[in-house]
Structure 1
Amino acid sequence: MTDNFWKDKYPVGVESEINSGEYQNIQAVLKQSCERFAEKPAFSNLGKTLTYGELYRLSGEFAAYLQQHTDLQPGDRIAVQLPNLLQYPVVVFGAMRAGLVVVNTNPLYTAREMEHQFNDSGAKALICLANMAHLAESILPKTGVRHVIVTEVGDMLAPLKRMLVNAVIKHVKKMVPAYNLPKAVKLNDALALGRGKTPQEANPHNDDIAVLQYTGGTTGVAKGAMLTHRNIVANMLQCQALMAANLNEGSEILIAPLPLYHIYAFTFHCMAMMLIGNHNILITNPRDLPAMIKDLSKYRFTGFVGLNTLFVALCNNQDFQKLDFSGLKVTLSGGMALQLATAERWKQVTGCAICEGYGLTETSPVASVNPIKNIQIGTIGIPVPSTRFKVISDDGQELPQGEIGELCIQGPQVMKGYWQRPEDTAEVLDADGWFKTGDIGLIQEDGYIRIVDRKKDMILVSGFNVYPNELEDVLATLPGVLQCAAIGVPDEKSGEAIKVFIVVKPGESLTKEQVMQHMHDNLTGYKRPKLVEFRDSLPTTNVGKILRRELRDQELKKLAAAS
């Protein structure tokens, strides 16, 4: 696609380019926003709200602690292993102000996964929740981590509530296994040591790494995507450019149920919404729907950021259906394919259309999005400003518009590369900055992009390509289906056969015959499943994305055991 192809695809009032060098680094955006919106709420959680002014003060205290009470130097990596709590933005922005590189770490990681990430990143410091400190204790001697800061869930709350919340979690709910980290510092003690001190503000170059964000990527084991200050600032500006007409500065209330350590929520809530001074409601445990809905009931929220499985779960909850949606004007979906049935149901329940976007960890992450006032359900929208897409064949040749192939992305938000993995970087990133996504799709004449599926998830039936997303979209329209997934399993006659997994809605029933009939009525012969399995649940990632890979591995193990 030529540059001219994209220029006229943007809505009126949206420029096709941004100035990715407008700010040298994230710190410059943070300082400006915290001064402009000092009295505005930034983050709320567990009944406590931090204003932008308070966020700047607290992050400054943490930066001062790191600089004056540790030997950490600019460029050192610090692992942040926290769920959605007020502590998260405080320590992330504090670490950045001290010049450290943030390594976002999933609090649900096993000891093995933590050990790999800490060693691969070369992390010298760790900030973790007391609930996970026992795992840290078991692996820290095998890593280069020298400084450990531990926080408890209620640490940002007022003193009395803090004591109560922490005591209930530790002694009543028994959610804090015993641990022994004698050199660990409590976060509140660290903040006290930094109080009243002025940090020496780091001023990294825009090509310096801001975040090491770990991902499976398109190949191999978990790798650290090097996201620079320019990458993340560019993505902030790109998001702002496409949403400016719909999200006002300093007045929006955004629900944040997805984990901030995941790049989608990290960039949107901590970065893009910080840029325009909006209020983020942090949901610590979105799997606890009753508690989440109770939180939602307290706000006349104007925006909601989620993904397909969460939308499905909420729309099937009667208490959610009773909430006041009169203020809701923006719902954003990413992280996994949005199913048509889900989009229609959400619109029916909330009155708000879902705006689907697309991106990867390696693109910071937002690469395309549906303009809010011109949504095409079933597409991932148009490229965000200063971003180009193309489609290539298996041999790397660019394909004409409208043809199906692997999507490639070029733009200022594309990562610098994988941390200390030049060969893996070379596999996905060429000299001109084009990133190979591993996703199969096509570019429509109007510039909207349609994802067909992941390249590695494609099923090959008697030489025909079958895309699981299409099968799952059809399955999701069958009454009684709560969740579903489709995979390929080895088959002597056709190479692969299609197997579908279904979770049935509570209180409803479904038979294999009904599933097969529905697929027969809606799909051509080679796309119909041979096998159907009903389950109580499906394996998912920490953000709720169904793991087809795990389902395939389970099937292969069954076949190996049977033979």
Structure 2
Amino acid sequence: MTYVDLVLQKLSTDGEREALVGGDTRLTRSQARDLLFRLADGLVRRGVRPGDGVAVFIGNTPEALLLTVAVHLLGCRLVHVPPEPGPKELAALISRADVAAVVVDPTFSDRLDGWHLQDLPGDPVERTPAPGFTTVSYTGGTTGLPKLAVHHERTSTRWEALRQLPPSTMLCNTLITHGSGAGVSRMALVVGSKLVLGPSTFDADTFVRLAVDEKITMTMFVPPMMYEVLDHPDCPGPQFLGVSVGGAMLSPHRLRQAVEKWGPVVFQAYGMTEALGISMMPAADVDLARPDTLRTVGKPVPGMEVEVRDGDVWVRGPMVMEGYWGEPPLRETADGWFDTGDMGYFDDNGYLYLNDRSKDVIVTGRTSDNVYSRLLDDFLVTLPGIRQAAAVGRPDEALGEVVHLFLVVDDDNAVDFDSIRDSVVAELGELYQPRGVTILPQLPLTKVGKVDKRQLRSLFR
């Protein structure tokens, strides 16, 4: 039994209960079930068959989410097309993904040709869900070519366990074409929660309005999103039953603020496109009196193996992708093990800590030592007047790289670089000494809300 079976079971009960909300659209369970089957029929009428690849270039709408479920219902390969790539990379992604069809949100049709989502629905023909399907997700990459992570559906007990959870009112803040948004959305449908889809581009004003108007009890963020909400003058109080934070490294200082604001309901989830669930730190284990519990990403989730090899985090298990589309499976190339690109360590109690992304480590000094930018970022936001911080390596002829800071500060704060430098050296040592600072009104973010350090590094070229 797949998650699609469980979704259909839930949508077949209590039909007048509200299921999906997004923009001006509000769907009951019966309406969502009807539209799900009509979208599947529209695909079949256009010649889509089990095993075909269907690329979806969509935003955060109820219709778009049900389309992704419809593709899986038919036993097809769902290819998530995110908005980040430029025109050439977008074309390369579609070409490499080997798809039989492309479905686009009409508002995206100027960037990619395909069937318009609004024209797709056919008749509400009830179909038995296929026993298996595949999801392919874009991950970017350093080679200039799109990388496509492949996940096969496994009839795991994960979905069965989830459906025992009580329904809630859940707000999805990230794109449903990314792992976090897709996972949260499917979970809501399986559990039978009312799911509110935030806009495709996050903004704190909309979050605050939706949280109050829709009486949100569960939500998830990537860290910069949460920081914006915490800094918002109308940040909601302790109305949440659960707040998940993941997708990027989280500042312990900001986690403390969140727990103080919302109560003991905030938990960290560590995963990525290639490995959808690696570890979790339950909210109940976060203790403000023990700073170490604010830094750890918890222990491996059931079924996942996690090893630290020479400082690098490797993972294996059912949540890890099969491999990249068009390349050999991981089980053939690395016995199923995947190098996450993160650097970290375990403590004596088995809790995992992350130091940095390997690509963000700053190599500096006469002996080419490592500066973990995440450690510096976390310290900087504890200093008065600094709201957000990103440390990156700036090329330097003598030292290879030196530490450069990009800061977002309070409006009325006069930045004293000498004071910041002295505080950094006193806390972290001479190696972490910043050699320059740039004040920005906001840090650049990727489409999923992570700080875009690659863009910041490009400013030095």
- TM value normalised by structure 1: 0.75
Instruction: Tell me the distance in 2 between the aligned counterparts of 1:339 and 1:346.
Output: 11
- Aligned partner of 1:274 in structure 2 is 189
What is the Cα deviation at residue 436 of structure 1? Answer: 1.3
Q: 2:248 matched to 1:312?
A: no
Q: 2:7 matched to 1:30?
A: yes
- Aligned partner of 2:115 in structure 1 is 149
Alignment of 1:444-459 (within 5 A): 444-459=347-362
Paired residue secondary structure (1:195): coil
- Aligned partner of 1:539 in structure 2 is 444
Paired residue secondary structure (2:154): helix
- Pick from 181, 198, 210 the counterpart of residue 283 of structure 1: 198
- Aligned partner of 2:136 in structure 1 is 212
- Aligned partner of 1:46 in structure 2 is 23
Residues 444 and 235 of structure 1: CA distance in aligned 2, closer, same or farther (over 3 Å): farther
- Aligned partner of 2:125 in structure 1 is 197
Q: Cα deviation per residue 1:350-390 (whole Å; 9 max; x = unaligned)?
A: 33442111111111x12111123213211111111111111
- Aligned partner of 2:40 in structure 1 is 63
- Pick from 305, 312, 316 the counterpart of residue 410 of structure 1: 316
What is the Cα deviation at residue 269 of structure 1? Answer: 2.0
Residues 446 and 79 of structure 1: CA distance in aligned 2, closer, same or farther (over 3 Å): same
- Pick from 256, 259, 278 the counterpart of residue 367 of structure 1: 278
- Pick from 472, 484, 487 the counterpart of residue 392 of structure 2: 487
Instruction: Tell me the distance in 2 between the aligned counterparts of 1:219 and 1:278.
Output: 40
Paired residue secondary structure (2:284): coil
Paired residue secondary structure (1:546): coil
- Aligned partner of 2:253 in structure 1 is 341
Instruction: Tell me the distance in 1 between the aligned counterparts of 2:333 and 2:136.
Output: 20
What is the Cα deviation at residue 253 of structure 1? Answer: 1.2
Residues 368 and 52 of structure 1: CA distance in aligned 2, closer, same or farther (over 3 Å): farther
Q: Identity over the aligned pairs, expressed in percent?
A: 25
Paired residue secondary structure (1:318): coil
Residues 447 and 236 of structure 1: CA distance in aligned 2, closer, same or farther (over 3 Å): farther
- Aligned partner of 2:152 in structure 1 is 228
Alignment of 1:163-202 (within 5 A): 187=118, 189-191=119-121, 194-199=122-127, 201-202=128-129
Q: Is the 8 A contact 2:34 2:124 kept in 1?
A: no
Q: 2:382 matched to 1:477?
A: yes
Instruction: Tell me the distance in 2 between the aligned counterparts of 1:509 and 1:349.
Output: 27
- Aligned partner of 1:303 in structure 2 is 218
Aligned residue-pair number: 453
Q: Cα deviation per residue 1:404-427 (whole Å; 9 max; x = unaligned)?
A: x111111111111100023xx66x
What is the Cα deviation at residue 129 of structure 1? Answer: 2.1
What is the Cα deviation at residue 288 of structure 1? Answer: 3.5
Q: 2:13 matched to 1:85?
A: no
**Letter of the structure 1 residue corresponding to residue 131 of structure 2:** P
Alignment of 1:372-391 (within 5 A): 372-375=283-286, 376-391=293-308
**Letter of the structure 1 residue corresponding to residue 195 of structure 2:** N
Q: 2:351 matched to 1:351?
A: no
Instruction: Tell me the distance in 2 between the aligned counterparts of 1:458 and 1:329.
Output: 36
- Aligned partner of 1:110 in structure 2 is 86
Instruction: Tell me the distance in 2 between the aligned counterparts of 1:390 and 1:372.
Output: 24
Q: Is the 8 A contact 1:328 1:352 kept in 2?
A: no
Residues 310 and 506 of structure 1: CA distance in aligned 2, closer, same or farther (over 3 Å): farther
Structure 1 residue runs without a partner (length 5+): 1-22, 141-147, 152-186, 394-404, 558-563
Instruction: Tell me the distance in 2 between the aligned counterparts of 1:317 and 1:549.
Output: 27
Paired residue secondary structure (2:282): coil
Instruction: Tell me the distance in 2 between the aligned counterparts of 1:235 and 1:549.
Output: 35
Q: Is the 8 A contact 2:402 2:434 kept in 1?
A: yes
Q: Cα deviation per residue 1:490-533 (whole Å; 9 max; x = unaligned)?
A: 33333321111112233433232232232133221111211212
Q: Is the 8 A contact 2:201 2:447 kept in 1?
A: no
Q: Is the 8 A contact 1:300 1:326 kept in 2?
A: no
Instruction: Tell me the distance in 2 between the aligned counterparts of 1:505 and 1:285.
Output: 27
Q: Is the 8 A contact 2:222 2:246 kept in 1?
A: yes
What is the Cα deviation at residue 127 of structure 1? Answer: 2.0
- Aligned partner of 1:178 in structure 2 is none
Q: Is the 8 A contact 2:84 2:446 kept in 1?
A: no
Instruction: Tell me the distance in 2 between the aligned counterparts of 1:109 and 1:377.
Output: 34
Residues 370 and 535 of structure 1: CA distance in aligned 2, closer, same or farther (over 3 Å): same
Residues 475 and 342 of structure 1: CA distance in aligned 2, closer, same or farther (over 3 Å): same
- Aligned partner of 2:290 in structure 1 is none
Residues 133 and 553 of structure 1: CA distance in aligned 2, closer, same or farther (over 3 Å): same
- TM value normalised by structure 2: 0.91
What is the Cα deviation at residue 235 of structure 1? Answer: 5.8
What is the Cα deviation at residue 218 of structure 1? Answer: 7.9
Instruction: Tell me the distance in 2 between the aligned counterparts of 1:489 and 1:51.
Output: 53
Instruction: Tell me the distance in 2 between the aligned counterparts of 1:379 and 1:219.
Output: 31
